[in-house]
Amino acid sequence: MVEDTQVSKAMTLMKNGLSLTKAAMKTSMDPRTLRKYVKLGRLPSQRERRHWRTREDPFDADHLAWAHALWKEEAPNVGRPARQPHGIPLGHWAWCAARGVLAKEMSVTQLPLLFTLQALLRERSVREAAHVLGVSPSVVSRRLSALRDTLGDPLLVRVGHEMQPTPRAVAISATLEANLAALSRLLRPPAEDAQQAPTRSFVIACADAFLSTLLPPAIAEITRDAPQATVEVVSIEGVSPTISAGLIGGTVDFYLGPPLGRSEGIIRRRLFDADFTCALAEDHPQLEAGLDLDAYCGLGHVLVNTRFPARSVVDEALVTIGRRRRVVCHTPYFLGAMVLVARSRLVATLPRQPAEQVAAGLGVRLVPPPLLLPAVPIFLQWHERMHEDADHAWFRARMPSGDPHPARVD
């Protein structure tokens, strides 16, 4: 404790030319303390004294009784407390207290007590419980004391060299284990959680051409591994207003098809590249003569009018060489186009992979197109908000893939 005489003597020495550090040494003071008093220009006895006081208890019996009566709508019959808890708006405090938020109810600070009780019931030793929790034995002892005060029960008592639980501790142990396990699962990353088979329905938008190509292997795995899961396939035309909007809004889980236009948050994974083939009836006379470019442009065409860009690919390729084709029939269905071709003298330019799967059964022959057509990449596409969803990831893992690394659309 610094006295007035020390500070006065040090200030006098400083006026006589001595430095602050030397003046503090000659008067047995810390230089920082002397600097403080020099800056204030006062002696220790002249400083203002702060009077500390303890805040009022906001949870005294009068206020708690009034708050609970307010919650039960009996406040008019109960006298309002004469004073308000310090620093807390009375209306907000009463609302919280009536629900037990600020009163002696569960709080975040009590969670360590529950984990400590769990460790004690398992280990039956303060030292071993401390080792499991990664704290000192004294911390476990203090928490056990707090638990005893809170629950009004000894919980564990020493019998010989071991601590044995009381009937109250045995009664709550099962509930404690179940609830702490549930809390642990909430904080566990999805990758660490044991993946259970989904029971939900997955909605997939795609053209029927890719339905026959991509989904059968995936459906076989899903029915085997998740018998309660279902798959709903919707046509591309049935998604309103757009496929991107369906993915963003959650009405569609996946889209199978060519890349969507630029849309924020769409993730895609390449499945395969679809090249083209020409489908004609098995008895079509042009098959004997060969399908050259002149014959191709002279025949009537069936156009599968979906969002698969067959028309643009074929027509753009013809435009580049100064030719045109004549489209006789438009249909949104791939299988419908194959049936029309089988029963007519028309030709259809279709993705080769699905066409090969159904051509023989329908009486259709497939021949290479007489012009160069670029392959179109086919993607599995979904929205980024579902990327970390466990069920979504489970389904994606069962889809065939030519590229295991998904990419976001720029």
pLDDT in tens, 85-132: 444 444 444 444 444 444 444 555 677 888 899 999 988 889 889 988
Q: Do domains 108-188 and 201-272+378-408 have the same CATH topology?
A: no
- What average pLDDT score do residues 193-208 get? 80
Question: Which pLDDT score, from 0 to 100, does residue 87 have?
Answer: 46
Whole-number percent of the chain with pLDDT over 90 = 24
- What average pLDDT score do residues 136-149 get? 90
Backbone angles phi, psi at 202, to 5 degrees: -105, 130
pTM: 0.53
Q: Is the pLDDT of residue 189 over 70?
A: no
Q: Is the pLDDT of residue 23 over 60?
A: yes
Question: Which pLDDT score, from 0 to 100, does residue 195 have?
Answer: 59
Q: Are the C-beta atoms of residues 273 and 375 closer than 8 Å to each other?
A: yes
Torsion angle defined by CA atoms of residues 386, 390, 395 and 399, in that order, rounded to the nearest 10 degrees: 80
SS3 41: coil
Handedness of CA 325, 330, 333, 337 (dihedral sign): negative
- What average pLDDT score do residues 51-59 get? 47
Question: Which pLDDT score, from 0 to 100, does residue 100 have?
Answer: 47
Question: Which pLDDT score, from 0 to 100, does residue 101 have?
Answer: 40
| pLDDT category of residue 357 using cuts at 50, 70 and 90 | confident
Average pLDDT, the chain: 80
pLDDT in tens, 221-250: 888 888 888 999 888 765 656 788 888 878
Residue 3's CB is within 10 A of a number of other CB atoms, namely 13
Integer Cα distance of 332 and 352 in angstroms: 17
Identity of the amino acid at 348 = A
- Angle in degrees, CA 28, 33, 39, rounded to 5: 130
CATH code of domain 108-188: 1.10.10.10
Backbone angles phi, psi at 349, to 5 degrees: -100, 115
Q: Are the C-beta atoms of residues 278 and 348 closer than 8 Å to each other?
A: yes
pLDDT in tens, 309-355: 545 789 999 999 999 999 999 888 899 999 999 999 999 999 998 89
Q: Break the chain down into helix, strand, coil percent, rounded to 5.
A: 50, 15, 35
Taking phi over 0 as left and psi of -120 to 50 as alpha, with beta for the rest, 80 belongs to beta
Q: Are the C-beta atoms of residues 116 and 126 closer than 8 Å to each other?
A: no
Question: Which pLDDT score, from 0 to 100, does residue 58 have?
Answer: 47
Question: Which pLDDT score, from 0 to 100, does residue 365 have?
Answer: 95
Residue 201 burial class via C-beta count within 10 angstroms: exposed 0-12, middle 13-18, buried 19 and up: exposed
End-to-end, the C-alpha distance of the chain in Å comes to 69
The topology (CATH level 3) of 201-272+378-408 is: D-Maltodextrin-Binding Protein; domain 2 (3.40.190)
Question: Which pLDDT score, from 0 to 100, does residue 192 have?
Answer: 46
- What average pLDDT score do residues 37-53 get? 72
Whole-number percent of the chain with pLDDT over 70 = 76
Q: Are the C-beta atoms of residues 396 and 195 closer than 8 Å to each other?
A: no
pLDDT in tens, 68-89: 555 455 544 555 555 544 444 4
Question: Which pLDDT score, from 0 to 100, does residue 388 have?
Answer: 82
The topology (CATH level 3) of 276-374 is: D-Maltodextrin-Binding Protein; domain 2 (3.40.190)
Q: Domain ranges in the chain?
A: 4-44, 61-98, 108-188, 201-272+378-408, 276-374
